[in-house]
Amino acid sequence: SCPYKTVVMSSLTSFIYLILNHLIQDAFGKKNARGQDSGLRMGGIPVNQLSDFNAEDSAIINDLIAFFLQLKAQGVNVFLEAHITPFEIVSIIEGKRETSIINQILTKGKKAPASVPGFFNEIYLFTKEFGSFGSDAKYLVNTKGTPNDDCKTSWGIEGFDWTGKDFSQLIMEQLTSELKNTPRVDPNAPMKGGF
């Protein structure tokens, strides 16, 4: 049972580094079936192999997401911070080759980037924009997404500029009173009464 109302994982990128480092360390000093040193080295430095990135996907999807789902079942709010990277998609439309760029969660694996967003109700994209000639930056949040960004909101939150403002206050202003006043429910709490 989790004693916290909210758990924040900052960040998915850090989790991936931990997993990949664990895989490198696990292979160090071991021998494969042919008696050769396990793991891959370049210039004497242990590096990741292709199989490590499959293990990364598995760790994200099977372990991390399962943990988040367990917390969610206990009524715990879960936040996952993830970095994104541009990803190029080439398609043929009416005989013409078209290239589009989408922003996808940054991992080296193949399955995790596309599957992680499906486990969350709210997906926000935070961006920083600069004006002309290096003027001050603006900090924006996108909640609805575009064809290139995988954002969504189940609470009807509109995107906004939060430069120099309290982000949590701006979110709270958009929540309905029903959401604001809904108490946290712990499904593991003992039931009252008899059968």
Q: Is the pLDDT of residue 194 over 90?
A: no
CB neighbour burial string for 27-58, b if at least 16 within 10 angstroms, e if fewer: beeeeeeeeeeebeeeeeebebeeebbebbbe
Could you count the other beta carbons within 10 Å of the beta carbon of residue 166?
Answer: 9
pTM above 0.85, yes or no: no
Q: How high is the pLDDT of residue 188?
A: 57
Identify which has the larger pLDDT, 42 or 129. 129
Return the SS3 of 64.
Answer: helix
